Amino acid sequence: MRRPLVPAAILALAPAAFAAESANYTNTVHVFSNGGGNASSTSYTLDACIGQPAVGQASSAGYGSESWYAPVFFPTDWHIDLVEGYNLIALPQFPDGAYNAQRLLQEINDQGGNATRVLQYNGSTYTFYTTEGGGTNFTLRPGEGYFVRCTVDSRWKTKGFPFARSTATIDIAEGYNLVALNLSPNVAYTASSVLSEINSQSGNATRILQYNPTTSTYTFFTSEGGGTNFTLRLGEGYFVRTTTDSTWTLSRD
């Protein structure tokens, strides 16, 4: 079985940034379910409520000015089809808890698949984790892409919370970056719009690559307009090549 083709002349990679909502809110969230009444007096850290936008400050409700109300969100299912061989996937929504390489492999295999390893791109090499426990059990984060090796076709169902935010950021480094959408855009991102948006934000992205797991080849698009202007989808990873470090700010609208 062929290993995934890796772009040539790979340089350094800065990990894709997981933009926490704590930059916009305060340190705790009090959840309510209806009528503005408190469902519980328990406070949750924002990391546990990522993707659940605050709708009002609770200073008049006895919690102090450092507390916020947030609407209750229930986890939703997302399905991603996997094929025999290497698949370039990403988290399609915020996970419903800590999500690492071990959990990904176990989740796929418990659903009738047979995933044997997952790989995280580090610029010039890969960090890996196997079903036997070999390698590093790294954390998966929205905004990053990962290779998953499977020995059979299957469908992976993952549970989590939609990317309910208007903007998100990803750190881009000189060289190849393995990135993914970390918000749900109202207007679909295309290869062309990704490169244009990065370059309008002081970056210099020259190409983007989409992996085809069936043929183990890449579809590409360049900033000069060469190649295929494909559409990006949630749950997929993509290689973006740049000649300078920058921060890519994605927008929902």
135 assigned to some structural domain:
no
Q: How confident is the model at residue 38 (pLDDT cuts 50, 70, 90)?
A: very low
60 assigned to some structural domain:
yes
Q: How confident is the model at residue 73 (pLDDT cuts 50, 70, 90)?
A: low
Range of the domain at 227: 1-98+141-253
Residue 138 reports pLDDT greater than 50: yes
Spatial neighbors of 128 by CB under 8 A, at least 6 apart, are: 117, 118, 119, 120, 134, 135, 136
Spatial separation of the C-alpha atoms in residues 86 and 100, rounded to whole Å: 18
Query: What value does the mean pLDDT take over residues 50-77?
Result: 49
The three-state DSSP-derived secondary structure of the chain is: CCCCCCCCCCCCCCCCCCCCHHHCCCCEEEEEEECCEEEEEEEEEHHHHCCCCCCEECHHHCCCCCEEEEECCCCEEEEEEECCEEEEEECCCEECCCCEHHHHHHHHHHCCCCEEEEEEECCCCEEEEECCCCECCCECCCCEEEEEEECCCEEEEEEEECCCCCEEEEEECCEEEEECCCCCCCCCCEHHHHHHHHHHCCCCEEEEEEEECCCCEEEEEECCCCECCCECCCCECEEEEECCCEEEEEECC
114 assigned to some structural domain:
no
Angle at 168 between CA 162 and CA 174, to 5 degrees: 130
105 assigned to some structural domain:
no
Spatial neighbors of 56 by CB under 8 A, at least 6 apart, are: 68, 69
Residue 68 reports pLDDT greater than 80: no
Residue 122 reports pLDDT greater than 70: yes
188 assigned to some structural domain:
yes
Number of domains in the chain: 1
What's the whole-number average pLDDT of the chain? Answer: 80
160 assigned to some structural domain:
yes
124 assigned to some structural domain:
no
189 assigned to some structural domain:
yes
What's the pLDDT tens digit per position in 151-194? 999 999 999 999 989 999 999 999 999 999 999 999 999 999 99
Q: How confident is the model at residue 238 (pLDDT cuts 50, 70, 90)?
A: very high
What's the pLDDT tens digit per position in 186-220? 999 999 999 999 999 999 999 999 999 999 999 99
Instruction: Between 238 and 253, name the one with better pLDDT.
Output: 238
For tokens 């044997």, the residue is 116
Q: How confident is the model at residue 123 (pLDDT cuts 50, 70, 90)?
A: confident
Residue 48 reports pLDDT greater than 50: no
Query: What value does the mean pLDDT take over residues 129-148?
Result: 98
Spatial separation of the C-alpha atoms in residues 220 and 205, rounded to whole Å: 13
Instruction: Give, in order, the Cα–Cα distances in Å from 97 to each of 26, 77, 158, 189, 234.
Output: 20, 14, 11, 27, 19
Spatial separation of the C-alpha atoms in residues 162 and 71, rounded to whole Å: 13
pTM for this prediction: 0.74
Q: Which of 47-61, 130-144, 170-184, 220-234 is least confident?
A: 47-61
Short-list 70, 37, 72, 68, CA closest to 53? 70
